[in-house]
Structure formats: C-alpha cells, structure tokens
Structure 1
C-alpha cells in the first residue's frame, strides 16, 4: 500500500512553513517545545486524526497542506484549523485523471465517486488501489452488519506517537479499539475468517437451491399427471385449434367493419388535447437539450477551477524559488550589468521603477484557496441540481409521450367504431374473440410447464458448476489462511531478530517469540516463562518493544507483499532511554533502522524519525535528511516568530 510523503505546508497567521521529506529517512531533532511532534500530529491530522490544541496551535495555526503520493496518484490533502467534519483531497493521476472532493471523516450515504467511496478512509484505499476487508460493525454481535475496515485502524501501525509508545501496545488493551487493531493485523496477514464463513454459507445456499429446484420438477410432473393435462404435444394441438378459431373470428370482425358505411365523428376535445401534448413534448425536448448543454459547460468550468487551483500553487512555489535572484548579465544580449549604477527606486537591468511584486500573505493565499474550493463545491451542487431537474424533465417527457400514444390509439378506435346498427354484432364477435384469446393464454401458460420443468432441470445442473467453484474457493481460502499462518510466523521471527540486533535487554538466542492470532499479543518465551509488552516493567523497554514490533511488521510486509502502508513515523523511539546510561542501545537501535533503509528495494519504506538528539547514519544513507529545530535563527522552530508556552 504505497503512501509516500513529499512535503508539508503549515499556514500560520504570518508565515507559510514548509517541511520537505526525504525518500528514505527524515530526522527531526532538537530541544523540547519547538514543534517537532506537531509535524507528526499535523500529518495525522491530514489523515483524519484529532489535533492536539497546544497554545501555539490555538493562536497561530490556520491550515495545513500535505503533498504525497497515494498509489499512482499525486495528491494534496488540505485541512483548516476549523475543519472538523471534512478534508479536501485533490489528486492527479495517469491520463490527466484529476479530481477534487471534500471527503467526510464519517461515511455518508452517497458515494463520492463512481465506486464504493463514502469517506476519507475509503478514498485513501481507493487511490492506493487497495480493497480493504469488511469487518463487523460491532465485533461482539454476530448479527451486526459488515463494514469496510477504516484507514485509521491500520494507521496505528504506521504512526508511533509519543504519548502511547510506553503505555499502549497498538491499542490491543483497549476493549473497543483493540478489536479494530486485531482486524488490522488480520488485514495485513490475510487471516480473515469472515470470508471463510461467507463461502461456507454460500455453498450451503447453492446446495439448498439445487435441491429445491429438483423437488419442484418432481411436484410439477406429479401435478400434470394428476389432472391429466396431457403431454406437450397434446397441448400444442389444442392451442393450434383455438388459434384457428380465433383467426376466423377476427376475419368475421374485419368483414363487418368493411361493410360499415357511416361517418365518423371524433371529438374536438380529444384532438385539442393531442395538439397541446405535441406542443408540450416539443418544449420539454428543447429544455432537455439546453439543460444537457448547460451541465456540460459547468463540468468543464469545474475542471478549469481545479486546474487553476493547481496552477496557483505552482506559481507560488516558483515565486518562492526565484525570489531574490539578481541578473549578472542581460538575458537579451548577454552584456554585463554588474557595473551599471543602480538607483534605489529603479531596476538595475531595465531602469523601470521598482514595483513590489511580492506574493500575497499566507492569509490571502488561504482565502483564495478556500474560495476556489467553495466555487468547486458550488458548481458541483449546481450540476447535481441540474441533473435532478434533467431527470425530472425526462420522466415528464416519457409520461407525455405515453399519454399521447394512448390518446392516438383512442382516437383511432373512435374513428373505427361502428354506428349503433352494428353494435350488437361487433359486441358478439368481440366477446368470442376475448374468450378464444383467454383460452389461448391459458393453453400457453400450461404449455410452459414442460418448458419450466426442462429449465429447472437445466438450472439444477448448472448449479453443480457453482457448487464445484464454491468448493474450490473454500479450498483456496483455507490455503490462504495457511499462508496467513506463515506470515504470522515470519513476523514473530523478524521481531526476535530485530530485538537481538539492537541487544534488547533480557532477550537471547535461546528465546523464541509466539504470536497468538486470537489476541495478536506477541510473547517472548524463555524456558518455562513467557512475557509480553505488559510484563516488561520498564518504560524504556516498552518503547523498544513497540518500535521493534512495528519494524518487524513493515519488513515482513515489504518482503511478502502485504498491504501495509510504506510509511513509518516514530516520535521519540528512544523515549525513557538515557543516552548517558544506554548509549550502545540507542546507537544499535538507529543502526538497525538505517540498515533497514539501506537494504530495501521498491517500494521503499519511508521513515520519519523524531528525537531530541541526532544520530548520524554510518555509513551515510542516500537522500538522508535532517532538520534541527531549536528556536534559533539557523535552526528555527516550526512557527519561528512564536514565543510562548
């Protein structure tokens, strides 16, 4: 599941701060209260999380914009300080496949796209090309409906936040969130027993359906034999005789109509109604054409707004890059202009009066961005209203045409009536025709019984193929669950290897790790004893336990193609570990993380590390990026001008 961060723009009341992310490892370090953890929280905020409202965030934060790669799409996620219900997501994919929606955090009833996308979580999975599993909405209720796994449930394994590193093992101790965390591990490893239950239920339903159809065949044949309805050939003979009598009756009716000689008098009211309907149909057809053309124009306008928004962001970036550039030579003729005297209020190159072309403030940019978003949404609402009106007019057109056809038929019938002298004759012949027609319909229905028997027998035979396919799917699902067991064993082995590699206190080569898929709590077994995260005692060991387990999951996922996001954020992975007392432990931990980053192939696992002290990779890592945040001029805090708690 490819998720790759590119940059984070933090809009404050006075500045726009940009944090660039490396393709491999980004290391943020510095003293406390400089905004390091806030960067990770803002990334989490863009993915639908809650934002810790520190004093700096309350006073200065305006909006955040995260640029990233989701699957094959270049995406931008925008969220303002007061966006509590929705998040703006804009994407650009292959073949200029662009889109922009205001995705709700909680699933809504209407789909956002032409797919099963009802929330921000569904949209992230959709853009990444991943179909999440369905889990029970209430895990302890077997009758609870199945819902799609939420992205927030798997995000715990990608963002190790500082607050829970030494107090929670991926929320497994929480009676409510623990079930979601277990569902995430089932999704990662392929262990999902609900699918096996569904396949077994489906197989039983198909077998019952086949048995029902075969019993129906026996009952229909018993019914035909009991009432002596005859064979299919006998029914065909009776049907042929009745059809011959019906044709003779129709011929007699036609003869009576030919001999009729009387003037017809169709009502003027019926003619007037038909003329009015024709006019209405023409007006509605014209309105439908105009509405269709207007909808297409508004769709084109919405696409232009989305493109304008993207271009505006690129212009801002270009201005920031070229701001402060001075020409040494004339770009037209190449003459040296360094020696030319410069007036304070004139351009040294062309001599024109200087004009302040600086970009607008951060607040103005935010206002423009919100205005574009509102216009995109307004046009989308307008398109929806026009489409509803268009559908209403189409239904009205169909209704008018149907009424006109009925009235046309009525007019023709009125024109073709006999005068009173022929009423009795025509009634008699019509009664005979009706009787014969009903008899034909009855015979045709009875004639369908043998066909129905044959069809039921064929359907029962065809169901055998579905039964065989369902049994094959059951076998494959059981094999897949076997593969899931192998994935779980691989995670346990990798977990032990990483703990040994960093010299985890109390773990030796003779120990082994067990992961029970019933509760997903890894236990280290040492002789007759075993211990888990909750038995480590030390806060530092709990932190290391969390970090090692997350690394193991991501490494196995990379090697076995499991659907784990290719991003790991670790805020203070050496929490509660003293650099003075345990320098070897800290060095070995980061040495293992850097080695993982060096050895990986595509898709690469992207690391964002946050700690107080920088540990340099040795040997160096390509694209390694570090940023010191100390509240100093050469190492500013996240909000440079802010001073306060």
Structure 2
C-alpha cells in the first residue's frame, strides 16, 4: 500500500512551520517538551486521528497540511484545530484526474462522491492507493452483523507506534474491540481472511440445498399428478373448457330466476326500509350528542378561565391599593430623576391628580367586574340548557335504538319464515356456480404445473454450474490460505531473527517463535515455557518487543509486497531503555532499523523520533536529521513557543 509523506505544514498564530520528510529516513531528536511527539501526532491527526491538546496546541495551533503521495496521486490532507469530524483531501494525477472533498471520518447516509462507494476518508485513501479492502463484521461476535470495510485506521496502528502505548499494549490486543480490529488487519496483510472462506462455504451449501430441494419438488409433484390421474397438459385444457361451459349455463339459469323473482314484491322490503331510516336517525342523534358534549366542555373551560380572570383582577385591585402611597423619585423606565410638581396631589409620572387616577381605576375595575359576572352567568345558563338538551336527546336515542332492535328481531323472523321455491332454486344454482368456479381455479393452477416442473428442472440444472464455480473458488481460497500460513511463518521467523540480532534479553537461538492466526499474539517457546508480551516484565523489554514485531511485519511486507502501508513511524524506540546502561542493545536496534530501511529503499519510509541521536554506521542514500532543541540553531517544532 504505497504511501509516501513529503512535507508537513503547521500553521500557528505567528509562524508557518515546514517539516520536510526524507523518502528513506527522517530522524527527529531533542530534549523533552520541544514538539517531537507532537510532530507524529499531527501526521496522525491529518490521517484522521485524535490530536492531544497539549498547552502548545491549545494556545498556538491553527491548522496542519500534510503533503503525501497515495499510490499515483499527489495529495494534500488539510485539517484545522476545529475540524473534529472531517478532513479536507485534495488529489491530483493529471489535469483530468483530480478532485477535492471534505471527507468525514464516520460514514454518512450519502457517498462523498455521487455514484461511488466512497463514504469516509478511509474509503478515499484505499481508492487512491488502488487497494480493495476486505469486509469484516461490524460486530464480530454477531453473526447477523452487516459486513463493512476494514478501516484504514486499523491498518495505521501497525504503522504508527505511539510513545504513550509503546510499552503498555501490544497493538491494543487487550482491548476487546480494537484488538479484534488489529486481528482483522493482520488477516488482511497476510491474506488469511476466513470470512471469505466462510462465505464461499455458505454459498456452496446453499446452492447444493437449493438444487436438492428443486429436484425433490419435481419428483413429488409428478408422483402427486400420477396418483390422482390429473393427466397431461392437453387433458387439463379439455377439462377446463368443459367446466367453463357448465359455468356459463349455470350463470344464465341464475339470471332467469332473478328476472322471475323481480316480478313479486318481497314481504320484508317495507320492514327493511323502516330499519334503514331508523339507523340514519340514530346516526344523526349520536353525532348531535357528541357535538353538544364537545361544546359543553369548551364552555366549561371558558367558564373556569373567566372565574380565574375575575380572581386575578381582584388581586390586581388589592395590589393597587397597597401601592397608592408609593412616591417615585426616579422614572421606572429609564431611571431619570423626576422633577417635583407644583401641586402635591398630582402624580409625579403622568401629571394627573391623584383623584383622577383613583376615579379611572375604580371605573375600569367596576366595568370589568360587571362584564365578567355577566359572562360567567351567561355561560353557566348556556351549559345548563345544553346539558338538559343532551339528556333529552339521549332518551330519544335510547328509544330509537330499542325500536330498531325490535324491528331487527322481526325482520329475522320474517326472513326465516319466507322460504319460497324460487329462493331455494337460486341457492342451489349459486352452489353449483361456486363449485364450478373453484374447479376452474384449480384447473388453471394445474395447467401451469407441467410448465413449473420443467422450469424447476432447468433451474436445478443451472445451479450445477454455480456449484462447480463455487467449488473451484473454494479450492483456490483454501490454497491461498495455505500460502498465507507461510507468510505468517515468515513473519514469526523474521521476528525471532530481529530479537536475536538486537540481543533481546531471554531469547536464544534454540527458542521458537510462533504466531497463532486466531489471536495473532506472538509467543516465544523456550523449552516447555511459553511467554509473550505480557510476560516480559520490564517496560524496556515491552517497548523492544513491540518495535521488533512491527519491524518484522514491515520487513516481510516489503519483500512479499503485502498491502501494509509503506510507512513506519516509531516514537521513542528506546523508551525505557538507557543508552548508558544498554549501549549495545540500542546500537543493535538502530542498526537493524537502518539496514531494513536500506534493504527496502523505495518501498518503506521511516520516521524515527527519539531523545538522543544514534548515527547510522552504514551509508544511507537519503537521510534527513531534524534537531528540536528550542535554540536558534535547532528551534522547537513551534519555533517561538516557550511554555509548558
């Protein structure tokens, strides 16, 4: 997966810092607190990661632009401090092949680019790199969970070894969610993806079951037709034509009987009309009662509101009496000083005499009180009259319902007593018509049965081709998985070689290193003893364990052209390892890193971050050194910043 970092532009409040990256190794070193780890975090931030809000980032950071080559495309990834859910990505290959979108980190309902399958930044990175990612279960423990693309962030965990987690977790395998994502990434790298094998096996079994079911159905249908002498397709057509003729004669006979019956008046017709009229009256009365009840409820609500308004008015009058003697020295609206009036009985605000105020207030309150009393009495009277009308209407409705029930009973008795010969004959003809119509429907279904049998046989034969294709794909997939096992074995062997080369404490030539494809946790077998990352003990050994494993993966990926992103950022590879106490170990580790970089020149890019500089002992064609010391000769990442 070809990814090459070219430069990083960091826009701060005062400066624009530029970091150029080597195609082979960019080595950043310096004392604590000068921005070394922040540099790696900003690269991760532009690729959709989370940025730690250090004091320098909070106070000075504005935005970052990462120039990177993805596959054959020159790209820029832009993200500001306030962009929490998206990254602006722009790509260019030629005048006709280019684009720029604001790519969300989480999938939205609509694709970023119309008529495409690109929904996130991860999808665009895969697309530009020309990689088809595998699909994994959204919830791995749920068999019915939908399949989604493996995120680029799951692969990136093997390319960016953070200082924070370098000695405390092994690619988050202890995290139930992120650990499974890391396992999916390793399956993708090595080609050992069991979901495809499972899907092919499921499809094959489904096709075989479908073919078996179709052939079984054909056999059962033919046995059924033979058992009941249903005959061939031509015989069924003759039976159908004969039955249709009989049905036509029966319908004609029914029409003649109805014409004969229409001459006489049915004795129950008058009773039916009367019942229908009563039903309409009952319906109208029910509507009238419902409307009246609704009006009464509204009037009661209004009656309560008027009483409440009257009480509130009385409270206002009492409040006014309490404030009669209040003297204003300042305007309550603007606070300006009020000039004293010549007459002591005049209001200081409006200029009217106190008697005028009192008179007007009394007139207004008296009028309002009278209006409210009148309206309350009117509503009470209206409610009383409407309730009396509702009660009267309900009595009328009960009477009509009783009359209708009596007439219904009488109608049922009259209908049961009315049983003329003509009615009996009509019923008999209706029974014959129903029988003939059912027989025609059955014959039409049987008519299509021979055609359906032939279609089932054709479908069963076509499924044989699908079954053969699935069996071939399944065999190829099993063969590919056996090749993936060889890749896993090579990673384990390379891991052992690296640990021996850097003189990893407790690892010997006779030891074996195994990687279980189910858990992807490498273990060292020393005789009958097995130990892994969690058994190393010291923080320095944990760091060294992680770094060697990442180097092993990228080494084999470079040699076997595996879809691992072609970049490795290691923040503090000697974390918890003292160069004074373990000088040979530190030199051996860097020697392996430099040798791997040289062997994979053009296919793997390194960004190394450490507190001290370990010079290469071999000649490297492209080696960039960046010293972040907070001095004029070696400024910090944010050159002018000098803070916590």
The answer to whether structure 1 residue 607 and structure 2 residue 606 are counterparts is yes
CA deviation after TM superposition for structure 1 residue 445, in Å = 8.1
Give the direction of change, closer, same or farther, for the CA distance of 1:215–1:57 in structure 2 (3 Å limit).
same
Which residue of the partner structure matches residue 633 of structure 2? 634
Counterpart-to-counterpart distance in 2, 1:473 and 1:112: 33
CA deviation after TM superposition for structure 1 residue 221, in Å = 3.7
**Contact 2:24–2:601 (Cα < 8 Å) also in 1:** no
Which residue of the partner structure matches residue 466 of structure 1? 466
CA deviation after TM superposition for structure 1 residue 192, in Å = 2.0
Per the alignment, in what secondary structure is the counterpart of residue 562 of structure 1? Answer: coil
Which residue of the partner structure matches residue 84 of structure 2? 84
Which residue of the partner structure matches residue 540 of structure 1? 540
Matches within 5 A, 1:213-362: 213-222=214-223, 225=226, 231=232
| CA RMSD after TM alignment | 2.7
Which residue of the partner structure matches residue 595 of structure 2? 595
CA deviation after TM superposition for structure 1 residue 628, in Å = 1.0
Which residue of the partner structure matches residue 642 of structure 2? 643
**Contact 2:9–2:18 (Cα < 8 Å) also in 1:** yes
Counterpart-to-counterpart distance in 2, 1:559 and 1:236: 73
Per the alignment, in what secondary structure is the counterpart of residue 148 of structure 2? Answer: strand
TM-score (norm 1): 0.65
Per the alignment, in what secondary structure is the counterpart of residue 69 of structure 1? Answer: strand
CA deviation after TM superposition for structure 1 residue 115, in Å = 3.0
Counterpart-to-counterpart distance in 2, 1:48 and 1:180: 16
CA deviation after TM superposition for structure 1 residue 210, in Å = 0.9
CA deviation after TM superposition for structure 1 residue 237, in Å = 9.4
CA deviation after TM superposition for structure 1 residue 240, in Å = 13
Per the alignment, in what secondary structure is the counterpart of residue 64 of structure 2? Answer: strand
Per the alignment, in what secondary structure is the counterpart of residue 613 of structure 1? Answer: coil
CA deviation after TM superposition for structure 1 residue 65, in Å = 0.7
1:271-308, Cα deviation, whole Å (9 max, x unpaired): xxxxxxxxxxxxxxxxxxxxxxxxxxxxxxxxxxxxxx
The answer to whether structure 1 residue 116 and structure 2 residue 124 are counterparts is no
Matches within 5 A, 1:165-564: 165-222=166-223, 225=226, 231=232, 449-564=449-564
The answer to whether structure 1 residue 65 and structure 2 residue 65 are counterparts is yes
Which residue of the partner structure matches residue 38 of structure 2? 38
Counterpart-to-counterpart distance in 1, 2:171 and 2:158: 7
Which range moves more in the overlay, 445-454 or 204-213?
A: 445-454
Which range moves more in the overlay, 21-30 or 110-119?
A: 110-119
Per the alignment, in what secondary structure is the counterpart of residue 164 of structure 2? Answer: helix
CA deviation after TM superposition for structure 1 residue 175, in Å = 2.6
Give the direction of change, closer, same or farther, for the CA distance of 1:221–1:119 in structure 2 (3 Å limit).
same
**Contact 2:43–2:66 (Cα < 8 Å) also in 1:** yes
**Contact 1:572–1:612 (Cα < 8 Å) also in 2:** yes
Which range moves more in the overlay, 567-576 or 580-589?
A: 580-589
CA deviation after TM superposition for structure 1 residue 561, in Å = 2.2
Give the direction of change, closer, same or farther, for the CA distance of 1:450–1:157 in structure 2 (3 Å limit).
same
Mark the structure with the bigger radius of gyration.
2
Which residue of the partner structure matches residue 570 of structure 1? 570
**Contact 2:91–2:99 (Cα < 8 Å) also in 1:** yes
1:315-337, Cα deviation, whole Å (9 max, x unpaired): xxxxxxxxxxxxxxxxxxxxxxx
**Contact 1:557–1:564 (Cα < 8 Å) also in 2:** yes
Counterpart-to-counterpart distance in 1, 2:484 and 2:34: 43
Give the direction of change, closer, same or farther, for the CA distance of 1:449–1:70 in structure 2 (3 Å limit).
same
Which residue of the partner structure matches residue 132 of structure 2? 131
Counterpart-to-counterpart distance in 1, 2:555 and 2:96: 34
**Contact 1:161–1:571 (Cα < 8 Å) also in 2:** yes
**Contact 1:72–1:94 (Cα < 8 Å) also in 2:** no
Counterpart-to-counterpart distance in 1, 2:579 and 2:492: 28
Give the direction of change, closer, same or farther, for the CA distance of 1:445–1:528 in structure 2 (3 Å limit).
closer
CA deviation after TM superposition for structure 1 residue 116, in Å = 2.3
Per the alignment, in what secondary structure is the counterpart of residue 606 of structure 2? Answer: strand
Which residue of the partner structure matches residue 10 of structure 2? 10
CA deviation after TM superposition for structure 1 residue 446, in Å = 6.8
Give the direction of change, closer, same or farther, for the CA distance of 1:56–1:601 in structure 2 (3 Å limit).
closer
Which residue of the partner structure matches residue 359 of structure 1? none
Counterpart-to-counterpart distance in 2, 1:628 and 1:44: 21
Unaligned runs of 5+ in 2: 243-439
Counterpart-to-counterpart distance in 2, 1:159 and 1:107: 23
CA deviation after TM superposition for structure 1 residue 443, in Å = 9.8
1:498-557, Cα deviation, whole Å (9 max, x unpaired): 111112222221112111222221111222222211122221111111110000001111
CA deviation after TM superposition for structure 1 residue 117, in Å = 1.9
CA deviation after TM superposition for structure 1 residue 601, in Å = 5.4
Which residue of the partner structure matches residue 386 of structure 1? none
1:160-208, Cα deviation, whole Å (9 max, x unpaired): 0111111111111223321221221122122222222211111111012
Counterpart-to-counterpart distance in 2, 1:92 and 1:525: 50
Counterpart-to-counterpart distance in 1, 2:241 and 2:587: 97
Counterpart-to-counterpart distance in 1, 2:530 and 2:487: 22
1:352-405, Cα deviation, whole Å (9 max, x unpaired): xxxxxxxxxxxxxxxxxxxxxxxxxxxxxxxxxxxxxxxxxxxxxxxxxxxxxx
CA deviation after TM superposition for structure 1 residue 451, in Å = 3.9
Give the direction of change, closer, same or farther, for the CA distance of 1:115–1:576 in structure 2 (3 Å limit).
same
Per the alignment, in what secondary structure is the counterpart of residue 162 of structure 1? Answer: coil
CA deviation after TM superposition for structure 1 residue 217, in Å = 2.5
Counterpart-to-counterpart distance in 2, 1:220 and 1:510: 69
Counterpart-to-counterpart distance in 2, 1:457 and 1:502: 68
Which residue of the partner structure matches residue 160 of structure 2? 159
Unaligned runs of 5+ in 1: 242-439
**Contact 1:87–1:103 (Cα < 8 Å) also in 2:** yes
Which residue of the partner structure matches residue 414 of structure 2? none
Which residue of the partner structure matches residue 309 of structure 1? none
Which residue of the partner structure matches residue 298 of structure 2? none
Counterpart-to-counterpart distance in 2, 1:457 and 1:111: 42
CA deviation after TM superposition for structure 1 residue 632, in Å = 1.4
Counterpart-to-counterpart distance in 2, 1:140 and 1:154: 21
1:212-233, Cα deviation, whole Å (9 max, x unpaired): 2223333444565567665456
